[in-house]
A and B are shown apart, each in its own frame.
Chain A
Amino acid sequence: MSLSFERVSFRYRRASQAVFVDFFWKIPNGRTVLLGPNGAGKSTLLALGADMLRPDKGIVSYRTLQTTRRSDRAAYRRAVGWMPQQVRAVPGLTAREQVAYAGWLKGLSRSRSWLAAARALDRVGLSELAGRKTSSLSGGQLRRVGLAQALVHEAEVLLLDEPTAGLDPAQRARFREILAELPDELPVVVSTHQVDDLSELFDIVAVIENGTIRFEGEVSVFMDLAPQGVTERRAEAAYTSIIPRER
């Protein structure tokens, strides 16, 4: 995968401080988990990567496509699938209609998006609820609808922003299973607070703090950062070795 951020600066309109200043990161191939404390810039980074936000300076690009280049924008957005932190129901739509609508918004034709919606819902295990209105789905089911929305147009890269935040353990486990079932060749970046089961799901760990990548490496290397002698919750220990708790 060559989704990259080159000298990216970004500041929210009314914020006094920039989230990123001259930020550089080339997202590695494989499955990457993006860790970091609240306010570190995880969601902002993924939103920039999804072209939901536009950098004040610098370039966000995928292959040769740049978000700041108007002529590239549609192709870029088609290539990148993004699941925002908050997945909301569109009033009146069923799960399949909502996913199909997301597919249409991503450039699929109406008929293709309708068929692709069925496939995407199948991938996230929601086929049986395809005809149910999204407003009546549980939080976990709605997240899966959100994942189906990100998958429906066969994106080349998947950016998932805190997909399991707020879910109960059973729903989180189900979501992880679904992530594990995604094809290996599909590059995925997941921002999360949860550090359990990293090794089963991800190839790369990246840790971000204050708009800077503090660590980037394979899961095993990350785990090795845990102090010697720690056998349980090693991922958490490794994480706190980079971002100490008091921060």
Chain B
Amino acid sequence: MPLKSILRISSAVWVAPILIPIVLYYASSYPPATFEPYTLALSAAGEFTVAIAVPVCAACAAWEAGRLRRAGWYPLPHVRSPLAIALSALAPVVALGWLSITIAVLYRLLGAGLVAVPDLRILAVAFVLFVAHSLLGFAIGVRLPPVVSVPSVLVVIWCWMALPPALEPLWIRHLTGDLSACCDLSSDLAPRAVAGSVIVAAGLGVSAVLLVRQRLDLLRFALAVASVLVAFGLGTRVVYGMGPYPAVPRSPSALVCSSGVPRVCIWPEHRERLKQAERIIGEVIQRWRVHGIRAPREFSEQSPDQLPSGTGSFMITSESRPGDIVDTLAYGMLPPYPACALADTSYYTGQAARDNAYAWLAYTAGVSRDRIASEISPGALHTIEMVRAMPRDSQLAWLHRNLAHSLDCGAPPRLGSGG
């Protein structure tokens, strides 16, 4: 059959004018993990709609199988293998699904002003999802009449794709192929999330290949069930313990660094702001030096928890003004929060000291009084102004005391009547 005949009869062609606008609408309304022009994050946000497109395509696949089933053609003694027949019928369906996601991804990229190749890992996972679930829809469609197979495939696969991301434990969502929560600039797509999704999809695909055989026997059925169970087992083993985000720290090798002193490293998406960042950081270091603060010789945009020791951190966005960058430099000079500050049940007594230290560092770095006033209490601001009037060594001693206290978890206040 020529391509135009295939396109004329395929349900994918009829569904496309409905599916693609829906996919575009949802993909454009879903917020990416970062608003920075990060190809990966925008591609992932575009992939958000697999939860809609995959079940629709699987239902189309069930419909296509139903076409052969109704005509009594499927069990005939063909030369082509059942898999070849299925893939031939499913090519337009898979193409529609994958195209809809690719269009959504490109729409996100172009909407952010990025003319770039989408992240191919995201598109590859989407492709695997479409192939596997469409095969599954086809396998069900050859066994059940379309009136049963189409709606049941649509609903069951939608539930599988859409519900786990809303459920706990959090790692379950990484089995479905939903990568939309990936990634801010400091992170990259987690290979475990990709592997988990692909393993489960492959398991479903293998079971579908076993089920599309013309002569289905108990052994094949048992193998099909086993392949799903094994895939879920393996997939769970891979993603077990993961948090909500399918992300890992981004490789520092992607950083773009200046060659001067201080050495400043930023993510390639901010490449055009490297010189500005280098200049601002140089100025802040000078100001701190006057006040006796020894700043690191290297600053990086990496996530603070990934920084090598002796490297200062700062943050920059496409929208950052110079004052914002200076402010993040002051934050970057603070020590990491102690464990008690991060635990839900602990009481952190060092916050006031931390605020003091931040305010002093920001003030001396050149952040405006108004900006600092908007971030700390009036009392703390008054304290800082008094400290700033003290001799340099006294200021330094005060700063170090506050930095030390900021790590103090202390004891919780006694609030009872006996306290």
Contacts and interface: CB of A to CB of B under 8 A. Distances in A.
A39 interface: no
Contact of B79 (A82, A88, A106, A114): A106
A113 B73 CA distance: 17
A90 B73 contact: yes
A114 B67 contact: no
Interface in A88-124: 88-94, 97, 100-101, 104-107, 110-111, 113-114
Contacts of A51: 77
Given A97-B1, A113-B1, A74 B70 contact: no
Contacts of B72: 84, 86, 88
Contacts of A113: 1
Range of interface residues on chain B? 20 to 34
Interface in A63-94: 74, 77-78, 80, 82, 84, 86, 88-94
Nearest to B68: A90
B76 interface: yes
A208 interface: no
Contacts of B2: 110-111, 114
A78 B80 CA distance: 10
Interface centre among B8, B79, B88 (most CB of A within 10 A): B79
B67 A77 contact: no
Interface string B57-81: 0000000000110111101111110
A88 B78 contact: no
Given A92-B9, A97-B5, A110-B1, A105 B70 contact: no
Nearest to A110: B1
Interface in B208-241: 215
B78 to A, nearest CB: 4
A105 B79 contact: yes
A107 B68 contact: no
Contact of A50 (B1, B77, B85, B215): B77
Given A105-B85, A110-B2, A91 B67 contact: yes
B73 A88 contact: yes
A106 B85 CA distance: 11
B6 to A, nearest CB: 9
Interface centre among A78, A104, A105 (most CB of B within 10 A): A105
A87 to B, nearest CB: 9
A77 B77 CA distance: 7
Contacts of A106: 78-80
Interface string B1-38: 11001001100000000000000000000000000000
Nearest to B72: A88
Contacts of B77: 50-52, 77, 80, 82
Nearest to B2: A114
B95 to A, nearest CB: 16
A84 B75 CA distance: 12
Contacts, number: 61
Contacts of B67: 90-92
A111 B1 CA distance: 7
A100 B1 CA distance: 6
Contacts of A90: 67-68, 71, 73
Contacts of B78: 77, 105-106
Given A90-B67, A91-B67, A92-B67, A107 B73 contact: no
B60 to A, nearest CB: 13
B215 to A, nearest CB: 8
A176 B2 CA distance: 32
A84 B79 contact: no
Interface in A34-75: 50-52, 54, 74
Nearest to B85: A105
A106 to B, nearest CB: 5
Contacts of A50: 77
A91 B72 CA distance: 11
Contacts of A114: 1-2
A71 B183 CA distance: 50
B1 A104 contact: yes
B1 A105 contact: no
B76 A84 contact: yes
A52 B75 CA distance: 8
A240 B294 CA distance: 115
Contacts of B76: 52, 82, 84, 105
A80 B70 CA distance: 24
A223 to B, nearest CB: 34
A150 to B, nearest CB: 11
B75 A101 contact: no
B91 to A, nearest CB: 11
A105 B2 CA distance: 14
A157 to B, nearest CB: 13
B183 to A, nearest CB: 42
Contacts of A82: 76-77
Contact of A78 (B9, B75, B79): B79
A105 B80 contact: yes
Contacts of A92: 8-9, 67
Contacts of B5: 93-94, 97, 100
Interface string B156-196: 00000000000000000000000000000000000000000
Given A90-B71, A91-B67, A101 B1 contact: yes
Contacts of A111: 2
A93 B73 contact: no
29 contacts: A52-B75, A52-B76, A77-B79, A80-B77, A86-B72, A88-B70, A88-B71, A88-B72, A88-B73, A90-B67, A90-B73, A91-B71, A92-B8, A92-B9, A92-B67, A97-B9, A100-B1, A100-B5, A101-B1, A104-B1, A104-B80, A104-B88, A105-B78, A105-B85, A106-B80, A111-B2, A113-B1, A114-B1, A114-B2
Interface of B: 1-2, 5, 8-9, 67-68, 70-73, 75-80, 85, 88, 215
Given A80-B77, A100-B1, A113-B1, 8 more contacts: A74-B79, A84-B72, A88-B70, A91-B71, A92-B8, A100-B5, A104-B1, A106-B79
